[in-house]
Amino acid sequence: MREHSTRAVGRGGFTLVELLVVIGIIALLVSILLPALNAAKLRAQSVVCASDVRQIYIAMALFVQDNKGHLPRPYLVGELSSDAALVKVCAWAQKATNAAGHIDLDDGKGALWNQLRGREGRAKVLMCPGDDGEATQGHTVNINYPRNISYSLNYLILRDVKGPSLGLVLARVRNPALRILIYEELAPNDSWCIMGSDSADIPSGRHAQGMRSSYRADSSKPEYYTKGRGNHCFFDGHVESLMPAELIPPKGKRSYHSPLIAGDPLIW
């Protein structure tokens, strides 16, 4: 009886057509997934940013408890972290003159540093993950001291004081749920924000969906005002994601900025 053996017929590999089909499918999947992944990344950055702004508020609230209800205040031009009395009342302070946007993150160099512990931790909290290092608006930048902060404070908490004096009493603020305390600002050069009243003090549009990167940091582009968003913390502690157009003229709302107490000027 004869034994018949059978041999499976194998294929040596893919044909060129098959390879092209596979490559085409992969390219199609990548083109579909990349926008979704980018959108997810932007959303994640915005969530982290909102959390960071909230952490700054919590640190300020703890400071208020320890200082008879007073908020820490912004620093003024020329007020440096080398002033031991000043850093006890300013939320944070500039490290060197002619170094716009650079604050001193070292221990003991800011009124909030007892609550925001660790230099590396402060660096992460104070710099938005979506901040690509926009250029400050017309202020001197020192290459040895690059901008390291994305946020600023409502200037009206500084009550026309000079020297080591505290800021406004938090409980005095009228309608705290309607007034912004902490701004996510476009390339802040200092911590004193006069939102919409100065070309250097404008809200961030970093958290943009479907907006080209050339627009997200350029306030001269109309898309910047309506397609980008920034996270802003109010005096009651809640955080809102707002378009620049909602905060500054011609469509902005004055009530977001002032008055904090009777007699305050209306910003812009």
In a domain, 77, yes or no: yes
List the one residue out of 228, 231, 230, 234 whose CA is nearest residue 258: 234
pTM of the model: 0.85
In a domain, 210, yes or no: yes
The whole-number pLDDT of residue 236 equals: 97
In a domain, 130, yes or no: yes
pLDDT digits (tens, 9 = 90+) for 34-53: 666 666 777 888 899 999 99
How far is residue 69 from each of residues 59, 64, 168, 214, 260, measured CA to CA in Å? Answer: 13, 5, 8, 43, 15
The whole-number pLDDT of residue 11 equals: 56
In a domain, 36, yes or no: no
In a domain, 1, yes or no: no
In a domain, 21, yes or no: no
Q: Which residues of the chain have pLDDT under 50?
A: 1-2, 5-8
| Beta bridge partner(s), residue 239 | 233
The letter for the amino acid at 110 is: G
The whole-number pLDDT of residue 207 equals: 87
Percent of the chain residues topping a pLDDT of 70: 88
List the one residue out of 165, 161, 135, 159 whose CA is nearest residue 147: 135
In a domain, 58, yes or no: yes
pLDDT digits (tens, 9 = 90+) for 200-236: 898 998 887 666 666 777 778 888 888 889 999 999 9
The whole-number pLDDT of residue 266 equals: 82
The total number of residues shown for the chain amounts to: 268
The whole-number pLDDT of residue 37 equals: 63
List the one residue out of 238, 241, 245, 197 whose CA is nearest residue 224: 245
Number of domains the chain contains: 1
Return the SS3 of 231: strand
The whole-number pLDDT of residue 212 equals: 63
Q: Which domain holds residue 108?
A: 42-256
The whole-number pLDDT of residue 159 equals: 80
Return the SS3 of 233: strand
In a domain, 209, yes or no: yes
